[in-house]
Amino acid sequence: MVNAMQQQDWDPRSEAVQRDQRAAYDEMRERCPVAYSNFLGWSLFRHEDILRVLNDPATFSNAVSRHLSVPDGMDPPEHTAFRRMIMPYFRPERVAAFEPPCREIAATLVQALLARDELEFIGDFANEFAVRSQSASLGWPPDLCTPLRLWTEKNRRATFAEDRAAMAEIAREFEGYAHELLQIRRTAGDQASDDITSSLLRQQVQGRPLRDEEIVSVLRNWTVGEIGTISASLGILVHHLSEHPDLQEQLRTQPSLLPAAIEEILRIHGPLVANRRITTRAVEIGGRKIAAGERISLIWISANRDGRVFEDPETYRPDRDQSANLLYGAGIHVCPGAPLARMEMRVAVEELLAHTACMEPVPERPPTTAVYPGSGFAALPLRIR
């Protein structure tokens, strides 16, 4: 473990870092690419170092949480079995089947915005779309959307404050929602709704049914990852488009260009700040000696802006090779839900572009940036017509 006298190289929660996370991480990547802080442990900023971690799960374990985390917080062979179980939920045919209801959610929200000259995009669209689409994909009732939206915000605040008591209470709150949903389906028996949540009750891993705590963990991981990341991504995408009207118009007239545009915009401004690992043995990274049992934080935003990998990293170039883009991670823990996330973002932006002539900033009300563990914008005023 790190010596109690270990000097901090930076403070991830400082006002300077939170004011502009991208600039702060860029600066750290060049000045101190392997940096220690009490809050995050050892943070890695270079693409090369992060890729090394992703491709060596035996040395850099995902079992970092005190609580059950299926399958994100598991290592092989346990991770392998659970991941094999969840992967079919993100097959192309399932994602394609969900596209029409997802598009209906987006279209309904867009229509509600058209009567207004000005809106706050994060609260009025991005958060609503993320929560409604996630609930619909899992077969959850619409009246759960508001509690889920509030729960997501409480979870973000508690994580930033490192308030473990609040985080435990927030976890219990979600468990209450999930257990109620499972009980409704058990009571309904053969008449239960045919959705992902019902399906998980029938799943098996290593020859046994899933335990309730495992199902709850799967649902919690999907919900935390999906709602926060999709909302942040939409804010980043729409902000970029509002600042670049020529690109906005090009994508209106050539929607086939949208998938590549989304990947590149989110490479420049990532929606997810970091992910965690823990060392299983002593290692040396970037000249820093790190003991076994140490926390490692992979700073995704910095990796995707590393000029050693991406030429002119701040320049929007949708035709660049995206194979090194770590938007969805890499290695055995690469995000299984990437196909669903890509579809949801594409559909949401398609609907916004198809039903508006222009989305533009509000000069007198600039955006408010999000703080860790969020990225993007906490508030994004827009004018649409």
Considering the domain boundaries, does residue 145 fall inside one?
yes
Is 349 within a domain?
Answer: yes
8 within some domain: no
Average pLDDT over the chain reads 94
Q: What is the pLDDT of residues 215-253, one digit of tens each?
A: 999 999 888 878 999 999 999 999 999 999 999 999 999
State percent of the chain over pLDDT 90: 86
Task: Give the global pTM.
Answer: 0.94
pLDDT of residue 238: 98
Q: Nearest to residue 129, comparing CAs of 92, 153, 104, 154?
A: 104
In this structure, what token pair is assigned to residue 40? 């995050």
Examine residue 9 and state whether it is found in any structural domain, yes or no.
no
Domain for residue 2, yes or no?
no
pLDDT in tens, 27-54: 999 999 999 999 999 999 999 999 999 9
Q: 2 vs 124, which has greater pLDDT?
A: 124
For the residues 6-10, what does the mean pLDDT come to? 93
Residue 254: band (very low, low, confident or very high) from pLDDT cuts 50, 70, 90 = very high
Q: Is residue 384 helix, strand or coil?
A: strand
Q: What is the mean pLDDT of residues 47-75?
A: 95
CATH of the domain at 337: 1.10.630.10
Residue 339 in domain: yes
- Rounded Cα gap, residues 298 and 70, in angstroms: 20
**Could you tell me the CA-to-CA distances from 43 to 66, 95, 143 in Å, in that order?**
20, 34, 40
pLDDT digits (tens, 9 = 90+) for 92-102: 999 999 999 99
Q: What are phi and psi of 268, to 5 degrees?
A: -65, -40
pLDDT at residue 314 is higher than 80: yes
Is 72 within a domain?
A: yes
Q: How many domains does the chain contain in total?
A: 1
Q: Is residue 92 part of a domain?
A: yes
Residue-wise pLDDT for 263-282, tens only, equals: 999 999 999 999 999 999 99
- Give the per-residue pLDDT at 224: 81
Tell me which residue range forms the domain holding 273.
15-376
